[in-house]
Amino acid sequence: MCGIAGIVRLRPGPAVGQEQLERMLATMLHRGPDDSGIFLTDECGLGARRLSIVDLTGGHQPMVTDGGHLAVVQNGEIYNYPALRRDLTAAGCDFHTTCDTEVLLHAYRAWGLDMVGRLRGMIAFALWDAKQAQLLLARDRFGIKPLYYVEHQGVLRFASTIQALLADPTAPRRLNTDALHELLIWGFVPGPQTLFHGIFKVPPAHLVIVQARTGQVQQRRYWDLPTAVQSQAPRTTAEASARLFELLRDAVASHLQSDVPVGALLSGGLDSSGLVALMRRLHGQTVHTFSIGFEVPGAPQYNERPFAELAARHLGSEHHAITFTLADFDLLPAAVSHLEQPLASATFLPLYRLYAACHAVGIEVILTGEGADELFAGYGWYRGERLAHSLERLPAPLRRRAGRLPGAWLSPAARRVLALGATADLHARYQAWQQIGNLNVADLLNPDMHTAGEATAPLLHPPASSRLGQMQALEAQTRLPDFINAEVDSMSMAHSVEARVPYLDHHLWEAVMGWPEMWRQAWGQPEKWLLRKTLAPLLPAAIVQRRKQGLASPHSLWWQQPRLPAWATDAISSRSLRQHGLFQAAAVADLLRRQRAGQPGIASYLTAVLSTQVWTSTFRVSW
């Protein structure tokens, strides 16, 4: 795990300077406290900060071939590097380390750009080919590891963090007004854009190829989800469960490769408990596990502590439990500085606390359960979409009557979907499920701010084999990389901890997404029913039978306090709102009044406004 950075000239000019790279690396000490290095030519410079996980003494970066023709920096882990190393050694390659990064150099020489599709893991890397004067940027299939880039004054800069790109004193710090509009719709900024004008994310499953001598920058997709049911898909529940168990065991085994101890987050839910059970079965050692409980008056529904403790006892883990209170919202400014972009939810705050606890115990690698709900349709909107689609087949009078069902029967999101009608584009339906509320965003933003005025439709590439598959493909290309994975990576690396996500193993996804959708969602079955059945022999029945709860943050209750902390009051004061000029002060004040009066559906907008105000001050952004 590292922070990587680099500079490549797109037109003739001064040689790339070491001081520029040193400034970029200095902003990422938390991502790589163990080592740092720089590689320089006139046209290109690469830099890396290293958190040593594999080959603790021999994995110095950048890695360079003997003749200096190739140089590479890597962030993340290549889980199949032992197998790749064996193949490359058999082909005559001579390795000097046991670090996974060295595989990239030999793989590129052996297979060219096709080598990216052979990698299994969470990875973002940059490889400089001096003979071709070509820089290759690559990001893993699900965007687990971040990679940003910007073109400015004839130079392309890239880095694991936006902070590193802003280390250039001439870099503009301008607001992307369209992205702010989308933040208030989706609750996060969909890629490839960011909230910084001109700074972009390398999309998941993509290469960015930079030709230094022509200035040409191209993007290329290198992987897709399956688009059709496999002929060898399981035919019985017993067969599906057995095959899924082998896939899960293989994924977890690959993610346990490490030269330092590996722990796990343990909420007491199915996903995290199943990971720890498989860890114990694979290596038999006691696992350090971490959970967070919530002490929030009047909101016992947030607290999963009893289930986490039940799972820890059953699995025999060395368990570390921490407590979250409303006072922990004071961590928001520090956490936003690591997020680098605002969010409309505050789930990043419990994560910030959890990974701080991991660091305090000395555990640098953590397995975590993100990705299971995306693969096995565990979120409520998957069930809601299936129900809504069924209701839309009813005769018109019955559909209208269904739309008037009490709020306890239909969520606001479900009402938005039903209002669209059965012929609505899938992208519009997905937005209706995902958007954070029903507020007219224009009423909240400064009227002088020019935006596109509507959310950008997420790219569905390619069309999936079923309606459920299409919804999952959209999820895997938008909310998963740009919210879930971005949140986990930034909050873990804030504390120099590597978070690994076995449920996002692409071998697992290729298999399960190639099965009929009944194995992911079926009438009369609870969500993630096949995963429950598969993990049932390893876990207590109380955990297997739990309905999904998920990590939450009580920001709604925090906003209902009669008095907010001084820093928050100042951030959303009329003075501060006018100073930054992004939001209408009267509209924000009205939102706060409605929130304190108990009106639902408001807190996410307030959190988006607050985190944006803090972000604007932290990064000194103007528009």
pLDDT band at residue 13, thresholds of 50, 70 and 90? confident
Q: What is the DSSP string of 233-289?
A: ---SHHHHHHHHHHHHHHHHHHHT--SS-EEEE--SSHHHHHHHHHHHHHH----EE
Render pLDDT for 460-474 as a digit per residue (tens, 0 to 9).
666 666 889 999 999
Q: How many angstroms separate the Cα of 316 from the Cα of each of 276, 289, 312, 319?
A: 10, 10, 6, 9
* Same CATH fold assignment for domains 2-187+196-221 and 238-293+303-376+478-544: no
Higher-pLDDT residue of 367 and 388 is: 367
- What confidence tier does 347 reach under pLDDT thresholds 50, 70, 90? very high
Q: How far apart (Å, rounded) are the C-alpha atoms in residues 597 and 464? A: 44
Q: Can you give the pLDDT at residue 354?
A: 97
pLDDT (tens digit, 9 = 90+) per residue, 45-102? Answer: 999 999 988 877 888 999 999 788 999 999 999 999 999 999 999 999 999 999 999 9
* Choice among 62-71, 168-177, 445-454, 512-521 with the minimum mean pLDDT: 445-454
Distance, CA of 339 to CA of 492 (rounded, Å): 10
Tell me if 338 sits within 8 A of 614, measured CB to CB.
Answer: no
| Residue pLDDT, tens place only, 164-203 | 999 999 898 999 999 999 999 999 999 999 999 999 999 9
- Rounded CA gap, 360 and 7, in Å? 35
Tally of CB atoms within 10 A around 622: 10
Q: For strands 148-152 and 365-367, give the pairing.
A: unpaired
pLDDT the model gives residue 304: 85
Q: What percent of the chain has pLDDT over 70?
A: 95
3-state helix, strand, coil in the chain (%, to 5): 45, 15, 40
Q: Which two tokens stand for residue 423?
A: 């012929």
Is 80 exceeded by the pLDDT of residue 573? yes
Q: What is the pLDDT of residue 64?
A: 96
The CATH code of domain 238-293+303-376+478-544 reads 3.40.50.620
Q: What gap in Å lies between CA 458 and CA 84, rounded to an integer?
A: 34
Lowest mean pLDDT among 14-18, 86-90, 105-109: 14-18
**For residues 158 and 126, is the Cβ–Cβ distance under 8 A?**
yes
Residue type at 314 in one-letter notation: H
CB 218 within 8 A of CB 241: no
Average pLDDT of the residues in 441-448: 93
DSSP lists the bridge partners of residue 175 as 196
SS3 55: coil
Cα–Cα dist 619/341, whole Å: 10
Does the pLDDT at position 450 exceed 80? no
Output the pLDDT for position 576. 98
Which letter does DSSP use for residue 483 in this model? I
Taking CA atoms, 579 is separated from 445, 583, 623, in Å, by 14, 10, 12
Q: How far is CA 205 from the centre of its chain?
A: 14
Give the residue extent of every domain in the chain. 2-187+196-221, 238-293+303-376+478-544
Q: Decide: 286 and 316 in contact? Cβ < 8 Å.
A: yes
In degrees rounded to 5, what are phi and psi of residue 445? -80, 155
- Per this entry, what is the length of the chain? 623
Query: What does the longest C-alpha to C-alpha distance in the chain come to?
Result: 76
408, pLDDT greater than 90? no
CATH 3.40.50.300, domain 2-187+196-221, yes or no: no
| 63-64 β-sheet, strand order | 63-64, 70-78, 121-129, 134-139, 206-211, 216-221
d(CA 590, CA 332): 23
Q: Of 623, 327, 377, whose CA–CA distance to 513 is shortest?
A: 377
When mean pLDDT is compared across 427-441, 533-547, 566-580, the lowest value belongs to 427-441
Query: What pLDDT, on the 0 to 100 scale, is given for residue 272?
Result: 97
Identify the sign of the CA torsion 578, 582, 584, 585: negative
Q: Up-side HSE of residue 453: CA atoms within 13 Å toward CB?
A: 3
Determine which of 178-192, 371-385, 415-429, 574-588 has the lowest per-residue pLDDT on average: 415-429
E-strand ranges in 56-193 read 63-64, 70-78, 121-129, 134-139, 148-152, 155-159
3-state SS, 447-477, equals CCCCCCCCCCCCCCCCCCCCHHHHHHHHHHH
For residues 491 and 338, is the Cβ–Cβ distance under 8 A?
Answer: yes
How far apart CA 42 and CA 21 sit, in angstroms, is 13
b/e sequence 51-62, b meaning 16+ C-beta within 10 Å: bbbbeeeebbbb
The pLDDT tens digits of the residues spanning 315-335 come to: 999 999 999 999 999 999 999
DSSP 408-459: TTS-HHHHHHHHH-TTS-HHHHHHHHHSS-S--GGGTB-TT----SSPPPPP
pLDDT at position 291 is 96
Identify the pLDDT of residue 464: 65
Q: What is the pLDDT of residue 318?
A: 97
Per-residue pLDDT at 410 exceeds 90: no
Question: Distance between CA atoms of 201 and 193, rounded to whole angstroms?
Answer: 6
The Cα-based distances of 42 to 18, 130, 163, 251 in angstroms read 10, 10, 24, 42
Which residue shows structure tokens 């409303």?
A: 326
Q: Is the pLDDT of residue 534 over 70?
A: yes
Beta carbons of 491 and 30 less than 8 angstroms apart = no
Model-level pTM greater than 0.85?
yes
Contact yes or no for 63/79 (Cβ under 8 A): no
Query: What are the pLDDT digits (tens) for 254-285?
Result: 999 998 999 999 999 999 999 999 999 998 88
Beta bridge partners of 39: 46
List pLDDT tens digits, range 129-144.
Answer: 999 999 999 999 999 9
The burial of 299, by beta-carbon neighbours within 10 Å (0-12 exposed, 13-18 middle, 19 or more buried), is given as: middle
27 pLDDT tier (thresholds 50, 70, 90): very high
What are the pLDDT digits (tens) for 194-253? 999 999 999 999 999 999 999 999 999 999 998 888 889 999 999 999 999 999 999 999
Q: What is the mean pLDDT of the chain?
A: 92
pLDDT at 404 over 70: no
**Whole-number Å distance between alpha carbons of 584 and 445:** 6
pLDDT at residue 425, rounded to an integer: 81
Task: Provide the token pair at 455.
Answer: 């959310």
